[in-house]
Structure 1
Amino acid sequence: MLTAVRSNRQTGVTLVESLVAMLVLSLGVGALAWTQARQLADGRHTTARAMAVLLTQDLGNRVLFNRGAATNGLYALAWGEQPAAASCLDTDCSAAMLARADLSAWRSALAQTLPAGDAHVFPAGDHTRRLGIAISWSFGASSDASIQAPLAVDAASHGVDCPSDRNCHVTYVPF
């Protein structure tokens, strides 16, 4: 005799469970990828800001060795200005020539170190013994307001305006 075997078959449930598991897994992997990309972008900005600080210290040290030229405003530099190349290694230089040689070498280092690096060196308000050094750089589309906002540079608070869509760092150097 044949007995009827009753079957409780669930069709398609395993497939739905697999699809839900794949969805949850893909959301987790996507979140990890976004976090990694954000950390890389933040690391680039942090490295650029650290390089801006080092470049500011470099120019500050150059100014300290040539205070007379700094007092006479010979270290002033506008956004986009590239001083003529000069060298004081083989010849004696006046204070003005040394200031131009310093600015030329410093601008070259800035251009090689920061993406689209630019600088503005200016007298710091009514202080005759202090220079302001503003350094700007760009990361193209990744320069966003969330990174710039806490470190915004404008004439009201820093004495110089940062070019639009750029990151800036301003330091005042006494000499």
Structure 2
Amino acid sequence: MRTLNSKMQGAGLIEVMVAFLVLGIGLLGILGMQSASVQYSQQAYLYSQATLLAQDIAEKMRSNQKTVASNYEIEFGATPPSYTSNYCVSNACTPAVIADWDVSVWRSAISKALPQGSGEIRKLQSAASAYIIEIRFDADRGEGELDTVTMEVVL
């Protein structure tokens, strides 16, 4: 029969406790990485939505170039004309009304798709048919300044 040395008693328990401690620290690290991954994924989604919305209004401006000069320009905080969701779909509209309708629908889509979202379209002074489309939104959910997607469009 073998006898255990008194110094060896409980050594297995300490090894198991250290293993659990290392495992716990590793799991906390994985949990932190997963949390950051979800946050970055959400931010990437918001940036892609802002880019798509900027491209959307740019295409609408290109398709209605007769009235682009002033009808599509709108500043942050300015209230666009309000129309029902199918106003220019079911009615015959002039190019100016189409531009107002496009801006109204675009601003509504921004506010629905992006947290604290707002958009601005302004004429670039250096070029005759160039515009800046800028969309601001809160990708960090209140943890900093508003994020901005800016697109320069030449019609």
Task: Give the corresponding residue for 2:127.
Answer: 127
Q: How does 1:1-175 map to 2 (within 5 A)?
A: 7-9=4-6, 10-71=8-69, 73-86=70-83, 87-141=87-141, 143=143, 165-175=145-155
Unaligned 5+ residue runs, structure 1?
145-164
Deviation per CA, 1:122-163, whole angstroms, max 9, x where unpaired?
A: 11232220111111111344756xxxxxxxxxxxxxxxxxxx
> Structure 2 CA distance, aligned partners of 1:92 and 1:168?
35
Judged with a 3 Å threshold, the aligned counterparts in structure 2 of structure 1 residues 7 and 61 are, in CA distance, closer, same or farther, namely closer
Choose between structure 1 and 2: higher helix proportion: 2
TM-score calculated relative to the size of structure 2: 0.85
**RMSD in angstroms over aligned alpha carbons?**
2.0
TM-score calculated relative to the size of structure 1: 0.76
Moved over 4 A (4+): 140-144
Larger deviation, residues 125-134 vs 77-86? 77-86
Displacement of 1:83: 0.9
Contact 2:115–2:141 under 8 Å retained in 1: no
SS at match of 1:172: strand
Judged with a 3 Å threshold, the aligned counterparts in structure 2 of structure 1 residues 141 and 99 are, in CA distance, closer, same or farther, namely closer
Unaligned 5+ residue runs, structure 2?
none
Aligned letter for 1:58? D
Identity value in percent:
24
Larger deviation, residues 38-47 vs 132-141? 132-141
Report how many aligned residue pairs link the two structures.
150
